[in-house]
Structure 1
Amino acid sequence: MSSPTQAHRSAEEIGRTAAGPRPLPALGAQRAAAELSHVDTTLGNGLRVLAVRNATVPLVELRLWVPFGGEDRLHAAIAEVLAETVLSGTARRDRVEIDAELALIGGDLGSGVDPERLYFSGSALAEGLPTLLDVLGDALTGATYSDTEVLRERDRLLERIAVARTQPRTIAREALQKHRYGDHPVTRETPEAHEVATVTPEQVRALHAASVLPRGSVLVLVGDIDPQSVPAEVERALGGWASDRVAVRLPVLPELTGGDVLLVPRAGAVQSQIRLSTQAVPRTDPRYPAAQLANLAYGGYFSSRLVENIREDKGYTYSAHSGFEFTADQAVLNVEADTANEVTPAALLETRYELARLGLVPPTAEETESVRQYAIGSLVTASSSQAGLAAQLTALASAGLGVEWLQQHPARLAAVTGEQVAQAALEFFAPGRFTGVVVGDADLLAAKLTALGGVTVRD
């Protein structure tokens, strides 16, 4: 232990010796992905069940993904209220009894919704899986949506929407969605408060009956379980959840084309939100592994070029990031940064510069190997826990993929060549392919941003 009077040493000092900087240890050899004992099957009611054994702890993680698209203008508002109240009581259990039964198995169960899906997530002691499934099945087939619960949760939701609509990230996300997709249902991530205020218990019950359907849905279970026995357990608990109709998927998104960035005025804002987006390729495309590595080199992790430029070198932003966004079997690539008003034009300029530089001066062999190791390592790390593996598999299953894709992806990343990364950089990161928004104070930003070119101001 150092004495109280000992001078504090910086990280740089700690990392140096009399002979120079301490050498970093060499990267270890990449291990092959572990085999996962699993079952992937579809039940008679059309529900796909993906059960995976991961016995690191005596728990089980549950994820249910129900396609929940809707084109009616009020769909988003009713769906939000439904997600808030689907676990508030059934014909067999009230809210207190649901919570009590889950507590006895060390469990929890929650629900949420977005324009693409209604989802349930929960966990419990592995021995409590039958109870967890029974509670879920009860909610799916017998949720009552009592007037009292619906009206109470509706009022709480109105308060949360009011707060959310004051948040810069929410405002920027909504602006980007509308700029990309117009009036497509995918843009209704946060419903309008006046629409939520009109939702009735009858509308919620009707939406449940019409749209909470097993055919086309996916149930993922990961934990200290025997995958072979899971389908029968799910059949017993959810066998009564049945319909000949198929759950409603979100309409196909229009393909993005490059175009001007739209300046969305937000009077008095002290910060601006830069959001750029372009069409990308889905996970099943042979070019995806190379595009994934190119994205990491551009802005996908802390040592990327974008972060090094506008955060570390110039201090324009605290955080900058780029990454893929998947909707069904489609994908886009997003770039985002929040900046102070006085540096917003410069930050946009440098963001575009790094896009162009990635194609013209592609990642070096050292950069490529660094992002490759990061991609493989982060995938393995994210899949090592039960919750992380369940999240990964749910995202894959919603696009029709499964355990095999996850296990084979490290090998695909390992096989990517530097030439393929360079080609992906040139193909997907050309500045002209991007469109997007800047949300900020137009009085301060309009003249400088429009002078950059490729920026228009919303009326």
Structure 2
Amino acid sequence: MTIPVPPLRAQVRVDLPPLASCTLPNGLRVCVAHTPWSPTVELALALPTRAVAARVATVAVIGDVVVRRTDCRDGAGLAALLGRYGAAVRGAGDGTWCDLHASLAADDLPLVLGLVAEMVRSAPPDADAVGASVRRVRAAVSPLRAQPQIAVRQLLRQRLYGPDAPALVPSDEAYRAVTATEVAELWPVVVQPGLGCLVVAGPQDPDLVLAEVRRHFADWRAHPSPPVVGHQPTGARGVQVVVTPTSAQASLVLAAPAVSHDDPRHPALLLANCLFGGYFSARLSRVLREREGLVYRVDALLDEHVGDQWITLSADAPGAAVPLVLASLRGQLAGLASRPPRAAEVDAAREFMVGRSLIQLGTQAGIVAELRSALIRGHTPDRLSIMPAALREVSTAEVRAVAADLFDPDRFCGVVAGALDPRDNRGHPVGPPAPNAW
């Protein structure tokens, strides 16, 4: 007996918590969300780094060391003070953003805001602090670099933008080459408020929090940033094959240019991507994983490389199955035009996307993450509340048009890396995919 699932109640607008926002004279954009149901505060500070993306290893070290000491406190003293109040401050940097995150009790917000302001207004660290940070970052990224999905995405980025593209995860040699002199050179470029954003969510009155932010950050000095060096896509086509015999499986990733977040077709693209490979009932999951049993994992997402948006398909599979997986992926992409999405598919994807937005906005961390995402893209905070309504307004015809246009298989290029077994599960020779064959 099949029990019908009742339809979800129509949700045309997400009610955000009360917000207060401003832009300080130094260029720092600030947004405060009032979350009275929580006794804690979540804080995120995002500083752009694309202007120095070519030196991502140095940026990563800066992201780590900036939260470890200040001009007034050494590392041990700062850690002891934060520990006394049960506050955690974390930092990380890559080729796009240097991020600082803090979690703390609401009563301690003035203290922690002051400490974060101390961190970012301090002078560059000395050689000992930089050396310790280099060792920490190297240890943290070593297992990350070894993950097949990271390795194949790194290869994809080089295929999309050429060998000089900023590294997704720098090599160990790049980290070991970072010096205190390099950190000092980039410090005023990275650790400065211009074009950055600060998001706070907590139970305090937002206007009072804004006043506290102004008190601590208003005289944080901005410095001129070098122009962002653009990286033009190579226009590569086909699939590059990289055989790594020591791998236990094969990983593959394909990408095609997407539209920007400001493009009017973006809501339709979100739905097309979701129904194609963005959730558990998507076409790729039902066909490649459940019906054909070719992959361990398959999904589609909208990814970013050096500031550009890309439709990205990725999968993990046995090496012997790679030729069949590539053929099936191409068939499914072509099927978006020959077998266009049905209204029921679009509606299911729509409900999933709206529901995910509601879940994300149900926690302080989710609210901060979504507000940060809106601000760093130049949007106003209310974008979070209007996006579900925008998804509701997308028609099936619009999704079909975007799917046929942007998911054309001839627009995709990619990389396959791993153990490519020349025989299938029955011992029959299948041969590896030919280089650049797609």
| Deviation of the 1:261 alpha carbon | 1.3
Matched, 1:47 2:25: no
Instruction: Write the distance in 1 (CA, Å) between the matches of 2:5 and 2:99.
Output: 44
Instruction: Name the structure 2 match of 1:149.
Output: 129
Instruction: Name the structure 2 match of 1:205.
Output: 184
| Deviation of the 1:52 alpha carbon | 1.6
Instruction: Name the structure 2 match of 1:15.
Output: none
Instruction: Name the structure 1 match of 2:437.
Output: 454
| Deviation of the 1:140 alpha carbon | 0.5
| Contact preservation (8 Å) 2:27, 2:194 | yes
Partner of 2:433, secondary structure, is helix
Instruction: Write the distance in 1 (CA, Å) between the matches of 2:146 and 2:307.
Output: 32
| Deviation of the 1:244 alpha carbon | 4.4
Superposed counterparts of 1:230-379, under 5 Å: 230-246=209-225, 250-255=228-233, 257=235, 259-326=237-304, 330-379=308-357
Instruction: Name the structure 2 match of 1:5.
Output: none
Partner of 2:17, secondary structure, is coil
Superposed counterparts of 1:72-91, under 5 Å: 75-91=55-71
Q: Identify the range of structure 1 (153-162 vs 224-233) with the bigger mean alpha-carbon deviation.
A: 153-162
Instruction: Write the distance in 2 (CA, Å) between the matches of 1:250 and 1:292.
Output: 28
Q: 2:201 aligns with which of 222, 229, 234?
A: 222
Instruction: Write the distance in 1 (CA, Å) between the matches of 2:16 and 2:369.
Output: 18
| Contact preservation (8 Å) 1:47, 1:215 | yes
Superposed counterparts of 1:396-415, under 5 Å: 396-415=374-393
Partner of 2:173, secondary structure, is helix
Instruction: Name the structure 2 match of 1:13.
Output: none
Partner of 1:214, secondary structure, is coil
| Contact preservation (8 Å) 2:20, 2:31 | yes
Partner of 1:215, secondary structure, is coil
Which amino acid counterpart does residue 347 of structure 2 have in structure 1?
E
TM-score normalized by the length of structure 2:
0.92
| Deviation of the 1:147 alpha carbon | 2.8
Shift in CA distance, 436/328, structure 1 to aligned 2, threshold 3 Å: closer
| Deviation of the 1:252 alpha carbon | 3.6
| Deviation of the 1:242 alpha carbon | 0.6
Partner of 2:68, secondary structure, is coil
Instruction: Write the distance in 2 (CA, Å) between the matches of 1:112 and 1:219.
Output: 15
Q: Identify the range of structure 1 (28-37 vs 344-353) with the bigger mean alpha-carbon deviation.
A: 28-37
Instruction: Write the distance in 2 (CA, Å) between the matches of 1:250 and 1:116.
Output: 11
Q: Which runs of 4+ in 1 moved over 6 A?
A: none
| Contact preservation (8 Å) 2:22, 2:30 | yes
Instruction: Write the distance in 2 (CA, Å) between the matches of 1:182 and 1:422.
Output: 32
Deviations 1:43-102 (A, max 9, x none): 0111111112122212221111111134585x2222222222112211211223222332
Matched, 1:59 2:40: yes
Instruction: Write the distance in 2 (CA, Å) between the matches of 1:225 and 1:329.
Output: 35
Partner of 1:278, secondary structure, is strand
Instruction: Name the structure 2 match of 1:33.
Output: 14
| Deviation of the 1:423 alpha carbon | 0.6
Instruction: Write the distance in 1 (CA, Å) between the matches of 2:89 and 2:123.
Output: 14
Shift in CA distance, 55/72, structure 1 to aligned 2, threshold 3 Å: closer
| Deviation of the 1:279 alpha carbon | 0.6
Unmatched segments (≥5 aa) in structure 2 = 424-429
Partner of 2:195, secondary structure, is coil
Instruction: Write the distance in 1 (CA, Å) between the matches of 2:61 and 2:227.
Output: 19
Which amino acid counterpart does residue 214 of structure 1 have in structure 2?
P
Partner of 1:401, secondary structure, is coil
Superposed counterparts of 1:114-193, under 5 Å: 114-143=94-123, 145-185=125-165, 187-193=166-172
Instruction: Write the distance in 2 (CA, Å) between the matches of 1:328 and 1:228.
Output: 36
Instruction: Write the distance in 1 (CA, Å) between the matches of 2:265 and 2:233.
Output: 18
Instruction: Write the distance in 1 (CA, Å) between the matches of 2:89 and 2:411.
Output: 42
Identity %: 28
Superposed counterparts of 1:87-106, under 5 Å: 87-106=67-86
Shift in CA distance, 143/224, structure 1 to aligned 2, threshold 3 Å: farther
Deviations 1:175-216 (A, max 9, x none): 01101111454x312222223222222322232134311111
Partner of 1:449, secondary structure, is coil
Partner of 1:196, secondary structure, is helix
Instruction: Write the distance in 1 (CA, Å) between the matches of 2:223 and 2:61.
Output: 25
Q: 1:195 aligns with which of 165, 170, 174?
A: 174
| Contact preservation (8 Å) 1:328, 1:398 | no
Shift in CA distance, 131/215, structure 1 to aligned 2, threshold 3 Å: same
Shift in CA distance, 225/330, structure 1 to aligned 2, threshold 3 Å: farther
| Contact preservation (8 Å) 2:160, 2:236 | no
| Contact preservation (8 Å) 1:67, 1:116 | yes
| Deviation of the 1:241 alpha carbon | 1.5
Shift in CA distance, 72/339, structure 1 to aligned 2, threshold 3 Å: closer
| Contact preservation (8 Å) 1:256, 1:278 | no
Q: Identify the range of structure 1 (63-72 vs 271-280) with the bigger mean alpha-carbon deviation.
A: 63-72
Partner of 1:79, secondary structure, is helix
Q: Identify the range of structure 1 (378-387 vs 205-214) with the bigger mean alpha-carbon deviation.
A: 205-214
Deviations 1:351-372 (A, max 9, x none): 1111111122111111111111
Could you say which structure has the larger radius of gyration? Answer: 1
Instruction: Write the distance in 2 (CA, Å) between the matches of 1:122 and 1:444.
Output: 50
Instruction: Write the distance in 2 (CA, Å) between the matches of 1:256 and 1:419.
Output: 32
Partner of 1:277, secondary structure, is strand
Shift in CA distance, 245/339, structure 1 to aligned 2, threshold 3 Å: same
| Contact preservation (8 Å) 2:251, 2:418 | yes
- The CA RMSD over aligned residues, in Å, is 2.3
Partner of 1:324, secondary structure, is strand
TM-score normalized by the length of structure 1:
0.88
Instruction: Write the distance in 1 (CA, Å) between the matches of 2:344 and 2:360.
Output: 24
Deviations 1:227-249 (A, max 9, x none): 22233211211233212424x57
